[in-house]
Amino acid sequence: MADKIKGKGVISGIAVGTILLAGQNLDGYLVNYKPGKLDAEKKKAADALVTVADSMKKSIDDFNEKGLKEQAAILEAHRMIIEDPALSGAIDEKLDECGSAPKAVLDAAEANAQIFEAMEDEVFRGRAVDIRDVGKRIAKYLLGIKEPEIVGKVIVAGKEIEPSVIAGLPTDKIAGVILGAGSTTAHAVIIAKTRAIPTVVGVGDGIDQMANGDPAILDGGTGEILIRPSDKERAGYDEKIKKQEELKAFYATLKTLPAKTLDGAEVELVANIGSPKDADAAIKDFGATGVGLFRSEFVFMGKTDIPQEEDQFKEYKAAVEKCATVTHGEGLCVIRTMDIGGDKPLPYIQVGEEENPFLGYRAIRISLKREDLFLPQLKAILRAGKFGKAAIMFPMVINVQEFLDAKAMVEKAKRELASEGKDYSDDVQVGIMVETPAAAVMAPILAKYVDFFSIGTNDLVQYTLAVDRGNAQISYLYNHFNPAVLRLIKRTIESANKEGKWAGMCGEMASDPNAAILLLAMGIKELSMSAPSIPRVKEKIRKITSSKAQEILDKVMEMEDGDKIRDYLAALVV
Amino acid sequence: MTEATTTIENKTGIHARPASLFVQTASKFKSKVQIKAKGKTVDAKSILMIMSMGLVKGTEVTLAADGPDEADAVKTLKELIDNKFGEE
């Protein structure tokens, strides 16, 4: 019999694979570790360095053979750190102090990492992460924690999972994701969503029942997880897997059809993406008619240095060109300028410890202070605009002045490009994300200045309701149908339309088919979501009329309770 | 002991890729190779030590090698720096 664990299913689908634990805490292992004599520990540490470096050589060759150059380069840098005489020297010193090989390795790595972290140059600072990573890898080996080999498909599990863990694994290797934390909007989940990876969150300590390499089945619809299932239990899922395939086939037939209501009102269904590759899949596999949110920070992440204008230009150009290939719809590519802050720290953007990163120094607030980051990004987008239709979107705006300052930077970017003799597009739309209550309240004024609004519901809901989206204890309060939220959204959309601008939505809510009915009636022009959700939303829109949607909206706006609104919409047979 | 002095001219200085390249090259030689800059002397085969020196563009460095292939080592490493690590 399998161990059964129940969580909250957030991305539906059945996944079969082996468990790969991410973000392990080594403290428990370290306490239980019984060190031998000092000489023996020293030899053990030295041997571990050799063994781990050797095993990495194999992986490096492997990656190189498969053409995965970036992964190979990262590992190669790690291998050099392991073989470094400075590291082995530091380990010996630390061993004299503490006597435990794994602890000495971690301490030595930490000491070296801190040297790098203290450096002025941002690029050097970034290496600290690598050094810590290497220390952990060797310590794990010494503690007898096996680095799981990826054979076949894996289900990545962890109390918290760093976005880079999922981003770093080849897409076709990840069958599912299990997250201990309760958040449905954690960045790991957001990445999983773009790739339609079945995901269960909020399993809490359930993670402790899993070991690396355990076979497992996960149902992203019901939130059920089976660890070490019997053959019989596995067979029980065959029917569900078959249904899943059938649904996929039906959705495929919707791909080339427009998102039009029965009476002909059309909404653009576009994709949220993190890289040009995602745009490719979104358009080809799910029928997206453009990109409503290119999260440019993923272009910044995984890099040790500020990405240069030229590098960014290549990424944006690829996405813009991809969007220009759509046969139906606008083919617009909306690129959001970097939205980085305390929750997604980067080696070259030191935000520092903040009490409230979500209310802190982040996004447009950083961009406006850091011309060295902002200007190259704007120039890269303006240049990419030459290859199709691009739009620039600023995140976290709370007042008119921020928009005007950012817009002035766009003009400066244009002047610089002109004087450098580089080609750029002069009709790139410039708009904002409406994700703060301030922006939504000021929407009638902001609408006079911007070209468009895109409502970012993840933050708008959390700021409006004062509910931390990652806190499992209060996640029941997080509801995009809350009447306060609905009123802000309605106000934003109507303000845009009144000024002859357009409003879209790029938050979680846009992928909720029931929400689509309301938004349609409010006058939304574009819904941007993780691509795999497009067919579901399209199916809903194609089954309804504008007048029916208006009727439902009128009724909902009279209701006083968010949970009741959600239940009412869920029970509707349209 | 063979020595040679030169100045780092590539834009990004010796970090990340240039540092890896430098250490890989130094490690090919049997001789003991050191790099001296800013009043410090470190093992040229240690990426951690080299990177911890913070060798940015414009830093003057001295290469010193001691061993059977010392002349070759200094010559090769100096060329690497002077050629800006193959950067443009």
* Residue appearing with tokens 């806190």: A471
Choose among B20, B49, B56: nearest Cβ to A86. Answer: B49
- Which range in A73-87, A153-167, A244-258, A383-397 is most confidently predicted, on average pLDDT? A383-397
Q: Is A116 at the interface with chain B, CB within 8 A?
A: yes
Q: Is B49 at the interface with chain A, CB within 8 A?
A: yes
Chain B hits for A124, CB-CB cut-off 8 Å, are 15, 51, 54
Contact A124 B12 (CB under 8 A): no
Contact A127 B16 (CB under 8 A): yes
- Measured between CA atoms, the residue of chain A closest to residue B50 is A86
- The 10s digit of each residue's pLDDT in A116-130 is 777 766 666 667 777
Alpha carbons A196 and A372: distance in angstroms, whole number: 36
Distance from CA of A48 to the nearest CA of B (A): 18
Contact B24 A120 (CB under 8 A): no
Could you tell me whether strands A3-6 and A224-227 are parallel, antiparallel, or unpaired per DSSP bridges? antiparallel
**A and B: number of Cβ contacts within 8 A:** 48
The ipTM of this complex is: 0.75
At A234, phi and psi to the nearest 5? -65, -45
Of A262, A379, A251, A366, the C-alpha closest to A314 is A379
**So where are chain B's domains?**
2-86
- Which range in A27-31, A89-93, A353-357, A384-388 is most confidently predicted, on average pLDDT? A384-388
Chain A hits for B46, CB-CB cut-off 8 Å, are 84-86
H/E segment holding residue A9: strand A8-11
- The 10s digit of each residue's pLDDT in A159-199 is 877 655 665 666 678 899 998 876 666 667 877 877 788 99
Query: Letter for the amino acid at A266?
Result: E
Task: Give pLDDT, residue A164.
Answer: 55
What CA–CA distances, in Å, run from A480 to A220, A511, B50? 21, 12, 53
Task: Give pLDDT, residue A124.
Answer: 64
Distance from CA of B5 to the nearest CA of A (A): 24
- Which of 123-162 (A) contact B at CB < 8 A? 123-124, 127, 131
On whether the A3-23+148-246 domain is CATH 3.50.30.10, my answer is yes
Q: Is A321 at the interface with chain B, CB within 8 A?
A: no
Give mean pLDDT, residues B50-62. 85
Q: List alpha helices for chain B, DSSP H.
A: 16-27, 47-52, 70-82
* Residue appearing with tokens 């899943």: A244
Whether the per-residue pLDDT at A566 is higher than 90: the answer is yes
Task: Give pLDDT, residue A546.
Answer: 96
* Fold designation for A263-532: TIM Barrel (3.20.20)
Burial class of residue A492 in the structure, from the number of CB atoms within 10 Å of its CB (0-12 exposed, 13-18 middle, 19+ buried): buried
Distance from CA of B50 to the nearest CA of A (A): 10
Least reliable range by pLDDT among A295-299, A365-369, A476-480: A295-299
- The 10s digit of each residue's pLDDT in A356-395 is 888 999 999 999 999 999 999 999 999 999 999 999 999 9
DSSP string, A154-187: EEEEESS--HHHHHHS-GGGEEEEEESS--SS-H
CATH code for the structural domain at A29-142: 1.10.274.10
Query: Letter for the amino acid at A112?
Result: N
Residue A344 — very low, low, confident or very high, per pLDDT cuts 50/70/90? low
- Which range in A43-47, A184-188, B8-12, B38-42 is most confidently predicted, on average pLDDT? A43-47
Q: List alpha helices for A370-508, DSSP H.
A: 371-384, 400-420, 437-441, 443-449, 457-465, 483-498
In the CATH hierarchy, which top-level class contains the domain B2-86? alpha beta
Catalytic-residue membership of B15 = yes
For testing contact with chain B, the best of A121, A303, A305 (most B CBs within 10 A): A121
Alpha carbons A213 and A17: distance in angstroms, whole number: 9
The pair of structure tokens assigned to A92 is 């010996």
* Residue appearing with tokens 């590992």: A75
Contact A116 B51 (CB under 8 A): yes
Least reliable range by pLDDT among A104-108, A345-349, A425-429: A345-349
Edge-first strand order for the sheet with A14-21 is A3-6, A224-227, A215-219, A14-21, A154-158, A174-179, A199-201, A8-11
